[in-house]
């Protein structure tokens, strides 16, 4: 089945690290993605991880994948006000479609 779940809200102080968690159900997912959506805008691809990897780092972003528990996380180091947005976790189903979570709203406070 396809069902991606995320916590809905995260509040973080500027300069701290943010960690956004996601669980997915389709064990055949090849790739898992993180997208960012700012108000009134489309989705911006942040990063992705192949299912045979357990970690990927890209500048301030670190993705951790626990395939056994079907758990994905995104860590943003040194969170800035520009990181305030909705973050979506998505799994690739059959290489055709993406199945998204409901999104985690991240608010960065000074």
CB-nearer residue toward another protein: 31 or 83: 31
| Options 10-18, 41-49, 51-59, 67-75: segment touching another protein (CB under 8 A) | 41-49
Q: Please report whether residue 34 would count as binding another protein according to CB under 8 A.
A: no
**Would you say how long the chain is, in residues?**
110
> Residues touching another protein: how many (CB under 8 A)?
25
Residue from 18, 29, 79, 92 in contact with another protein (CB under 8 A): 92
CB-nearer residue toward another protein: 30 or 57: 30
Q: HEC profile for the chain?
A: CCCCEECCEEEEECCCCEEEEEECCCCCCCEEEEEEECCCCCEEEEEEEECCCCEEEECCEEEEEECCCCEEEEEECCCCHHHCEEEEEEEEECCCEEEECCCEEEEEEC
| Options 12-20, 59-67, 69-77, 94-102: segment touching another protein (CB under 8 A) | 94-102
Interface contacts to another protein, rule CB under 8 A = 4, 31, 33, 35, 40-45, 48, 50, 88, 90, 92, 94-103
């Amino acid at each position: 089945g396809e069902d991606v779940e995320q916590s809905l809200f995260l509040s973080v102080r500027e300069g701290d690290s943010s960690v956004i968690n996601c669980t997915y159900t389709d064990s055949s997912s090849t790739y898992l993605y993180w997208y960012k959506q700012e108000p009134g805008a489309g989705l911006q691809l942040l990063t992705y991880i192949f299912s045979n990897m357990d970690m990927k780092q890209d500048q301030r972003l670190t993705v951790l994948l626990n395939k056994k528990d079907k758990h994905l996380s995104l860590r943003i180091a040194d969170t800035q006000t520009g990181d305030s947005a909705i973050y979506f976790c998505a799994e690739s189903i059959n290489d055709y479609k993406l199945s998204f979570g409901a999104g985690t709203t991240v608010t960065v406070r000074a």
